Amino acid sequence: MRKKRIQKEAFAASYQEGLLKSLLGRVFSPSQQSREQIPLPVSFDLPSLISPSDEQSIACGTLMWYLSPAHQATEEKPNETPSPSRIDEETVRNAFRRTRKDMEQFALSHGFQLHDLHCTFLGMLLNTETGAVAIGQIGDGLIAGLHLGLGAHQLVEAPTTSEVGETFVFTQSDWEKYLAVRVYSPEEAAGITTFYLMTDGVTDDCTHPPPDDIFRRWARDIDREMRKEEPLPQKATKLLRWLATYEVKGSWDDRTLVVVWLTKELSSLFTAKFVGS
CA angle in degrees (0–180, nearest 5) for 186-100-180: 40
Tell me how far apart the alpha carbons of residues 129 and 154 are, in angstroms, rounded to a whole number: 24
Tell me how far apart the alpha carbons of residues 72 and 145 are, in angstroms, rounded to a whole number: 28
pLDDT along the chain (277 residues), means of 10: 40 33 35 64 66 45 44 49 73 94 93 91 92 96 96 97 91 96 96 96 92 96 94 85 87 89 83 56
pLDDT at 62: 46
Strand residue runs (E) in the chain: 6-7, 23-25, 119-126, 133-138, 142-147, 151-154, 166-167, 180-184, 192-198, 257-261
Tell me how far apart the alpha carbons of residues 236 and 60 are, in angstroms, rounded to a whole number: 8
SS3 of 229, please? coil
Could you tell me the domains of the chain?
61-274 (3.60.40)
Among candidate residues 240, 194, 199, 239, the one with its CA nearest the CA of residue 220 = 194
pTM: 0.76
Q: Decide the pairing of beta strands 180-184 and 192-198.
A: unpaired
| Contacts with 166 (C-beta within 8 Å, 6 or more apart), sequence order | 5, 6, 7, 8
pLDDT at 28: 34
Point out which residues pair with 151 in neighbouring strands: 147
Residues found in the chain: 277
pLDDT at 39: 83
pLDDT at 44: 79
What DSSP character marks residue 111?
A: T
The Cβ of residue 181 has, within 10 Å, a number of other Cβ atoms equal to 20
